Structure 1
């Protein structure tokens, strides 16, 4: 199965030979058609930046609840702390039509976004909400997040250029629609079985879902209760792990944009396992969209697929899937 999830060297891509680029493009296109994910090396993100953000994230999650509560998220589009409820887990959107699980997911997260401000209060509220940093108790979290996300924005530009070339589009097709893209950096802590005490029937660290944006760049840790991906041929499987590679997952917007040629990755994170009762994992998850007012029009064949999707406005599509109906004054609609 691992051979179906290719590794792309982003640093080598610009100077690769025509033959090498064609081989990479063919393997990548197949993986994105069948599963919706690949590994990314040559990304230039320092290991120190990943390590420091993980360290700061762990310090934040270890704080007592009363220290974290001022940063609790009150709406799905806000930045801040997403709590794991005392009974275990947080409520997150699941796949359309899926029956809700009585016991919610076993993780808690801290979310941050761009510091960009448009000057329009309605747009900024829904697209660029102000970050809320625990500077008084943990000033390093802000520094580590901002350092890491600067790399993520750079890598996202490279991924967008790569996607355009694989599809045979102008290199700036996606990047020129992402000058002030909406994005979210999520630091997610998956606690150990020893910490949560017990796991209910059907309960997972993160239930089956697809991401809502264009693509996600993930720095993951391997674990017994770790990431699984899904495709028709293999069902659920553990994707390959490379400590030097990032994982790129396609989201709903890119599936729509390619008119079904490429698919959003269906994935989940398994529950903590009795075979590794002290295993805890911490993921760095960068959800990338596009400029909020981008009209995403499905690409026609042969570049796109034949799914006959309808156009959507980028940010409005994401917010509506979160159950949010933005103010009529928000001009990105």
Structure 2
């Protein structure tokens, strides 16, 4: 985040979008006020309203890389049903959840036990200890796109638990979050001066994944060193992430000075952040922001339970990503070489899930090391 944006605590963009600013909690922790953007008028508003929303999105994408979306249209009943389904899954005994693991870490589906991933390896940066979270992943299947003959290795079948109502609630959430992600890509295109449907050919059989995360409360009351990672530092891999999360301290994002800031979602909002592929497309005009999750704590630093669910809208596995027109200054070369969605995701997932350090994330790794990571 640029220094000028950090100081604009009261600066407002039209349509209710507030530029991010630093503030302090009662405990002295730095909190970043991620801009709130109401998109409810995008489909019905005129040119002026759309321009205001697009301008607010562009400002957030340039300075923070995160935004809070209000007016997303997802009913509260859908949120409650999804949260109940998530609770029911993670309440299962560990031995039952272990039966839901994918046969290989290269298959990005099913259950992930605590202390089996190191997210920082997706950047090629070793972690001192494995991450504390447990997770469950579902995503796009080849059968979702009949007639395209997509490879099942890229679009594997989901693993569903025998939890009553789980598949229905999770399926409903995926439909809603995926719809929001696609709506946002239309807004992104407008903000970048592109045709609103520009990203459709890159996302019409998108490798979307929903990752449900659980940071369980310890069996006995305890305090932890917050340098132990609930989830290690990383950037998201794809185009855009739609995040539902408890309003519990833990999520932090990295600014351009190397400082970490707590981020708390506002009531009724969904957190949205940009992924690596948008950074590549825009030649870093838009930020794929480094973030991590410390062991979730209350105001007295006692470890508490936290839940989140990240819907990753990642693009077609065979789509080639190269710099967008107009994003490379005259006389310079793009910051990133062209890649495909499938190749990029495979390198990232090999680090986080399979423990094979990603050797092609030099720019992202440099940011993390500059922040003091060993």
> Which TM-score tier does this pair reach, normalised by the shorter chain?
0.7 to 0.9
Is the 2:316–2:341 contact (alpha carbons within 8 Å) kept by the matching residues of 1?
yes
Question: Is 1:208–2:238 an aligned residue pair?
Answer: no
**CA 1:93–1:240 in structure 2 vs 1: closer, same or farther (change >3 Å)?**
closer
Q: How far apart are the structure 1 equivalents of 2:220 and 2:90?
A: 12
Question: Is 1:296–2:359 an aligned residue pair?
Answer: no
Is the 2:100–2:111 contact (alpha carbons within 8 Å) kept by the matching residues of 1?
yes
Q: How far apart are the structure 2 equivalents of 1:202 and 1:276?
A: 13
Question: Is 1:19–2:42 an aligned residue pair?
Answer: no
**CA 1:19–1:201 in structure 2 vs 1: closer, same or farther (change >3 Å)?**
closer
Q: How far apart are the structure 2 equivalents of 1:271 and 1:210?
A: 18
In structure 1, the partner of 2:188 is: 163
In structure 2, the partner of 1:328 is: none
Offset at 1:124?
3.4
In structure 1, the partner of 2:371 is: none
In structure 1, the partner of 2:347 is: 320
Offset at 1:30?
2.0
- For 1:113-143, what per-residue CA distance to the aligned partner results, in whole angstroms no more than 9, with x for missing partners? 12442679995333211111112xx132111
| Equivalent position to 2:97, from 52, 68, 75 | 68
In structure 2, the partner of 1:270 is: 294
Question: Is 1:57–2:81 an aligned residue pair?
Answer: no
Offset at 1:25?
2.4
In structure 2, the partner of 1:329 is: none
Q: How far apart are the structure 2 equivalents of 1:208 and 1:126?
A: 27
Offset at 1:200?
5.7
Question: Is 1:113–2:139 an aligned residue pair?
Answer: yes
**CA 1:64–1:32 in structure 2 vs 1: closer, same or farther (change >3 Å)?**
same
- For 1:15-67, what per-residue CA distance to the aligned partner results, in whole angstroms no more than 9, with x for missing partners? 33433333332332122112211111111111222222221111211111221
TM alignment of 1:128-277, pairs within 5 A: 128-135=155-162, 138-194=163-219, 199=224, 202-224=227-249, 226-233=250-257, 235-239=259-263, 241-273=265-297, 275=300, 277=302
Is the 1:194–1:277 contact (alpha carbons within 8 Å) kept by the matching residues of 2?
no
- For 1:139-187, what per-residue CA distance to the aligned partner results, in whole angstroms no more than 9, with x for missing partners? 3211111111011121111011000000010111112321111111111
| Equivalent position to 1:81, from 108, 111, 132 | 111
Is the 2:123–2:348 contact (alpha carbons within 8 Å) kept by the matching residues of 1?
no
Q: How far apart are the structure 2 equivalents of 1:313 and 1:302?
A: 19
SS in 1 for 2:123: coil
Is the 1:167–1:303 contact (alpha carbons within 8 Å) kept by the matching residues of 2?
no
TM-score, scaled to structure 2 = 0.77
Q: How far apart are the structure 2 equivalents of 1:311 and 1:27?
A: 28
**CA 1:71–1:6 in structure 2 vs 1: closer, same or farther (change >3 Å)?**
same
**CA 1:107–1:258 in structure 2 vs 1: closer, same or farther (change >3 Å)?**
same
Q: Which runs of 4+ in 1 moved over 6 A?
A: 119-122, 303-306
SS in 2 for 1:203: coil
Segment drifting more, 157-166 vs 26-35: 26-35
- For 1:192-211, what per-residue CA distance to the aligned partner results, in whole angstroms no more than 9, with x for missing partners? 24559564673121121101
Is the 1:35–1:265 contact (alpha carbons within 8 Å) kept by the matching residues of 2?
yes
RMSD: 2.7
Structure 2, unaligned stretches of length 5 or more?
Answer: 1-5, 10-18, 21-33, 352-374
Q: How far apart are the structure 1 equivalents of 2:268 and 2:277?
A: 27
Structure 1, unaligned stretches of length 5 or more?
Answer: 325-333
**CA 1:43–1:273 in structure 2 vs 1: closer, same or farther (change >3 Å)?**
closer
Q: Aligned pair count? A: 316
TM-score, scaled to structure 1 = 0.86
**CA 1:43–1:199 in structure 2 vs 1: closer, same or farther (change >3 Å)?**
same
Is the 1:255–1:264 contact (alpha carbons within 8 Å) kept by the matching residues of 2?
yes
